Chains A and B, each alone.
Chain A
Amino acid sequence: MTALVLDIITTAAILFAVASGLLIILGVLKIVNFAHGGFLTIGGYSGLVVTQLGWNAWLAYPVAAVAGILLGAVIERFIIRPLYDRPLDAILATWGLGIIIGQLITIVFGREIQFVQAPITGATTVIGETYSLYRLFLIAAAAMVAGGIAALMNATRLGLEARAVIMNEQLARGLGINSGHVRFVTFCIGAGLASLAGALITPLSSVDPNMGVPWLVNAFMLVLVSSVSLVSLATAALTLGGAQVLVSTFISPVIGGLTIVVLAALLLRIRPAGFGNG
């Protein structure tokens, strides 16, 4: 029982961390970044590089974040900006980018599955159950990500401007906010978060050039169901993630993989605002 509860919480934490970057990009830029899977992969391979170079495994996280931010900057400038008023095309273009990233990684690193050194290994006992220490660490990591984003949004000038742009870009510009700049910075942060999330999840399994794809779809559905609110995202991650764990455990893991997608699609049909406030 404890293991189940911990599974649900850790799964929710992982989903939250993975989806957070997608959420802030959707909120501020109003586009869906389908290269998100590619950024996750980059994060994973950053971890691989750190492992192969023999560096301290903790460095994987900052390296991943920086890699994501830099790549995000280039992509925003040359691909996203021209597609400002063509959101459906932005989905396609970012999907194409995801493919490009995947292929480049394959060329550089090869197709095989490889493994990354985790900074924390082993297990610990929680309420009579032995549980992976790393998974528990991920709960803390997700909480830090959430805290970081919340602090950014609520306590900084940039965050205030970003919230203004999310609510009403026209009015924001009329008050002197350079919305183009806000979009740029937000995309970089979102890409950095995605990459960081990739580094966070790799020690759970492995890296391969297509590791990001399954996460992309789930993250995508969660974000849509959250209607641009961090709190809603956490709620969605907990509810839908929990459902996934339950279905995987009691019915079948294969069907479990579908839970989030199917439930989210149905929820959106009934209530287009999902868990958010409409």
Chain B
Amino acid sequence: MADLTTIPETLTRQTSSGRLVPAGSIAGLCIAATIAGPYLLDAYTVNILVRSFLYAAAALTVDVLWGYTGILTFGQAAFFGIGAYAAGITFTYMDFSPQTAVLALVAGLVASAVVAGITGWISFFHGASPLYAAIVTLALPIIFVQVLYSGGTFTGSSSGLVGYNTFDLSVEAWFTICGIGLVLLTTATWFFVNSDFGRVLVAIRENEQRCTYLGINAPRVKILLMVVMAMIASVAGYAYAGYTVVVAPEIGSFVFGTELVMWVALGGRGTLIGPVLGTIAIDVTSAYLSGNLPYVWKLIIGSIFVLVIVVLPQGIVPVLKSGLRRLWSAATGRDAVPGVAVPALSEAPEARRAGAGSDAAALAVADLARSYGSLKVLEGVTFKALGSELLGIIGPNGAGKTTLMRCLSDGYERTGGTVAMFGRMIARTPPQGVVGFGIGRSFQTTSLFETLTVAECLRLARYRLNKTRMLSHAPTLALPASARHVITATGIDRQLAIECRHLSHGMKRALELAMVLALEPSVLLLDEPTAGLTKSERTLIGSILVDLVQREGLCTLIIEHDLDFVREISTRIIVLHQGKILLDGSVAEVVGSELVRTIYAGAAQQRPAP
């Protein structure tokens, strides 16, 4: 067992302030630029840029939702529009004053938050398809615009509202305010997406289902994110209304919504800086070119967009970045790859595991059934499992073993029967809730997060138990002893900074096991944990599992095809055949059973004439 490692105080401070200084200086430079801007640029450009800054803010929200979290949304335009119309309507009918200014801002924020909350609730639920969310966000601006049309003269219908009184500021002042606002927003967002919580967003994008099995309530995260991004977009819209003194349905339309997505795609989704700079660049260029070649310019942008999607899906900025990086290494002879901060592992305090001290069986399954229409995959499955039992589940292909695990870990999956843990029914709880009951499930095919590092994956597994930082990376990572045992015994502790996609298959399986253990489960469900492993890796995993069951008293269910392996480590075996339990008994009973041998080796006595 490795010793606890601690980072000296000075190093810790360096790590967190390591990013603050460069980020702060860049932000400072940008702010200086926005102050100097009006004096260096001509009036027309300054005028355009104010608008571009606000569009860039909206594009930033799209990038956070789509680029980082994987929520394709055409709806941010609607929130921009809500903020703008809140201002337009208030100033038109209640005239402009400091009080109405605040009122309009708050009204826009509240309206967007409510609409975003409803949209999120409709779109993000257990089993929702990402396509459905995209559709709902598409419908949002359409509905918004139709509502505006039906508002008649009150909302100005198709021509909108014009000429209301607004803030008494010069164009230069607007420029500086919006510029500084954009810089601050971008900086804050940058810290946010580069924090531990930012990794959660990326994880949701890469494998939302796995996240739910790690106890992360992905639907709730997405809804909250949508609400916050909507509010930010509405502030941008509010400023837009205040500046241009015109609000028309176009700014909340789905054409604008899709333009935002296009700018993010072109700038580089998931890079934050890309969409911001890209939006500003495209908007300014459009302003200049559309005077001369209006339709051709849109055609060009459209064509570049399609080209980027097909050929360069990561966008233009990342390509530029890697190009610059290569120039840098060629020029200096050094690699410009930024170092990855690796947390120090520490001991997690012994939390009370679910069901500790309870007399009830760890797992009680009664009459479990799962059918797809008329196809019965599981039928009448009934058994109990206690702590300190290592239950091997075997059976031919198609017997229903993985389906059984699904039904145990996801309350929505089964079509009949009950599952209870320590006496509590899991009812219709989604996976993230069942994790709270104490279940930890590993998957048959390595279901990890490609671009996340080993350390980040482990931290993900601790989401439910440790607080996740929203603006920085925590310098330590607390893991329970069992997870740390797996990590050190398999050697992944030396690979904390490696991205999952670069791990060998054996290492991925070890990481999967460590992550499940990091959940501090009371019941472990392992689906073919040794698939594809070499003999020595198999032996190692086997000994770790036996150790865990005996030392920690974990109730463990393990699906396996390697019958020798199962025989060695199990205390009890359940044989599943065509969806029903064929036999449930000790290892000796099952191995010696004639019935089981028949199922596995075919009709033993039949010998047809050649």
Interface residues of A (CB under 8 A from B): 32, 78-79, 82-83, 86-89, 91-93, 95-97, 99-100, 103-104, 106-107, 217, 220-221, 224, 252, 254-255, 257-258, 261-262, 265, 268-269, 272
Contact A86 B299 (CB under 8 A): no
B309: nearest residue on chain A (CB-CB)?
A93
Q: Inside 8 A of B309's CB, which chain A residues have their CB? A: 83, 89, 92-93, 96
User: Closest CB-CB distance, B104 to chain A, in whole Å?
Assistant: 25
Contact B146 A265 (CB under 8 A): no
Contact B262 A224 (CB under 8 A): no
Contact B295 A106 (CB under 8 A): yes
Contact A100 B313 (CB under 8 A): no
Selected A-B contacts with CB under 8 Å, 22 pairs? A88-B130, A88-B131, A89-B309, A91-B72, A92-B72, A92-B265, A93-B310, A95-B258, A96-B262, A96-B305, A96-B309, A100-B303, A100-B306, A103-B296, A103-B299, A103-B302, A107-B295, A107-B296, A224-B131, A224-B132, A265-B122, A272-B132
Stretch at the interface among B11-19, B134-142, B239-247: B134-142
Contact A107 B138 (CB under 8 A): no
Contact A265 B134 (CB under 8 A): no
Q: Inside 8 A of A87's CB, which chain B residues have their CB? A: 131
**Chain A contact residues, majority secondary structure:** helix
Interface residues of B (CB under 8 A from A): 72, 122, 125, 127, 129-132, 134-136, 138-139, 142-143, 146, 149-150, 254, 258, 261-262, 265, 295-296, 298-299, 302-303, 305-306, 309-311, 313
Q: Inside 8 A of B125's CB, which chain A residues have their CB? A: 269
Kindly identify which residue among A93, A106, A261, A272 contacts B139, using a CB–CB cutoff of 8 Å: A261
Contact A79 B143 (CB under 8 A): no
Contact B298 A99 (CB under 8 A): yes
Kindly identify which residue among A83, A92, A254 contacts B150, using a CB–CB cutoff of 8 Å: A254
User: Closest CB-CB distance, A232 to chain B, in whole Å?
Assistant: 17
Contact B132 A268 (CB under 8 A): yes
User: Closest CB-CB distance, A70 to chain B, in whole Å?
Assistant: 18
Q: Inside 8 A of A89's CB, which chain B residues have their CB? A: 309-310, 313
User: Closest CB-CB distance, A144 to chain B, in whole Å?
Assistant: 30
A97: nearest residue on chain B (CB-CB)?
B306
Q: Inside 8 A of B258's CB, which chain A residues have their CB? A: 95
Kindly identify which residue among B129, B130, B139, B311 contacts A262, using a CB–CB cutoff of 8 Å: B139
Contact A258 B299 (CB under 8 A): no
Contact B302 A224 (CB under 8 A): no
**With A254-B150, A255-B146 as given contacts, are A96 and B306 in contact (CB-CB < 8 Å)?**
yes
Kindly identify which residue among B134, B139, B254, B298 contacts A88, using a CB–CB cutoff of 8 Å: B134
User: Closest CB-CB distance, B532 to chain A, in whole Å?
Assistant: 21
Contact B142 A261 (CB under 8 A): yes
How many angstroms from the CA of A100 to the CA of B302 in the assembled complex? 6
User: Closest CB-CB distance, B292 to chain A, in whole Å?
Assistant: 14
User: Closest CB-CB distance, B260 to chain A, in whole Å?
Assistant: 12
**Chain B contact residues, majority secondary structure:** helix
In order of increasing CB-CB distance, the 10 nearest A-B pairs are: A99-B302, A96-B306, A103-B299, A254-B150, A93-B309, A96-B305, A100-B302, A261-B139, A106-B295, A103-B298
Q: Inside 8 A of B310's CB, which chain A residues have their CB? A: 78-79, 82-83, 89, 93
Contact A96 B302 (CB under 8 A): yes
**With A104-B299, A254-B146, A257-B146 as given contacts, are A220 and B306 in contact (CB-CB < 8 Å)?**
no
* Most chain B beta-carbon neighbours within 10 Å: one of A83, A96, A252, A269: A96
**With A217-B142, A262-B139 as given contacts, are A91 and B134 in contact (CB-CB < 8 Å)?**
yes
Contact B129 A272 (CB under 8 A): yes
How many angstroms from the CA of A272 to the CA of B305 in the assembled complex? 32
Known: A83-B309, A96-B302. 13 other contacts (CB 8 A): A83-B310, A89-B313, A92-B265, A93-B309, A93-B310, A99-B298, A99-B299, A99-B302, A100-B306, A107-B299, A221-B139, A224-B132, A272-B132
Q: Inside 8 A of B296's CB, which chain A residues have their CB? A: 103, 107
Kindly identify which residue among B129, B131, B149, B305 contacts A254, using a CB–CB cutoff of 8 Å: B149
How many angstroms from the CA of A22 to the CA of B254 in the assembled complex? 20
Q: Inside 8 A of A104's CB, which chain B residues have their CB? A: 299
How many angstroms from the CA of A220 to the CA of B74 in the assembled complex? 15
Contact B135 A221 (CB under 8 A): yes
* Most chain A beta-carbon neighbours within 10 Å: one of B129, B146, B258, B306: B306
Q: Inside 8 A of A32's CB, which chain B residues have their CB? A: 131
Q: Inside 8 A of A262's CB, which chain B residues have their CB? A: 139, 143
Q: Inside 8 A of B132's CB, which chain A residues have their CB? A: 224, 268-269, 272
**With A86-B313, A96-B309 as given contacts, are A269 and B122 in contact (CB-CB < 8 Å)?**
yes
How many angstroms from the CA of A224 to the CA of B136 in the assembled complex? 12
* Most chain B beta-carbon neighbours within 10 Å: one of A86, A92, A258, A269: A92
A257: nearest residue on chain B (CB-CB)?
B146
A79: nearest residue on chain B (CB-CB)?
B310
B304: nearest residue on chain A (CB-CB)?
A96
Contact A252 B306 (CB under 8 A): no
How many angstroms from the CA of A236 to the CA of B150 in the assembled complex? 26
Q: Inside 8 A of B146's CB, which chain A residues have their CB? A: 254-255, 257-258
How many angstroms from the CA of A49 to the CA of B328 in the assembled complex? 56
Q: Inside 8 A of A93's CB, which chain B residues have their CB? A: 306, 309-310
Q: Inside 8 A of B303's CB, which chain A residues have their CB? A: 96, 100
Contact B139 A265 (CB under 8 A): yes
**With A89-B313, A93-B310, A261-B142 as given contacts, are A224 and B130 in contact (CB-CB < 8 Å)?**
no
Q: Inside 8 A of B139's CB, which chain A residues have their CB? A: 217, 221, 261-262, 265
User: Closest CB-CB distance, A194 to chain B, in whole Å?
Assistant: 18
How many angstroms from the CA of A252 to the CA of B254 in the assembled complex? 22
A214: nearest residue on chain B (CB-CB)?
B142
How many angstroms from the CA of A32 to the CA of B130 in the assembled complex? 13
User: Closest CB-CB distance, A42 to chain B, in whole Å?
Assistant: 15
How many angstroms from the CA of A82 to the CA of B307 in the assembled complex? 11
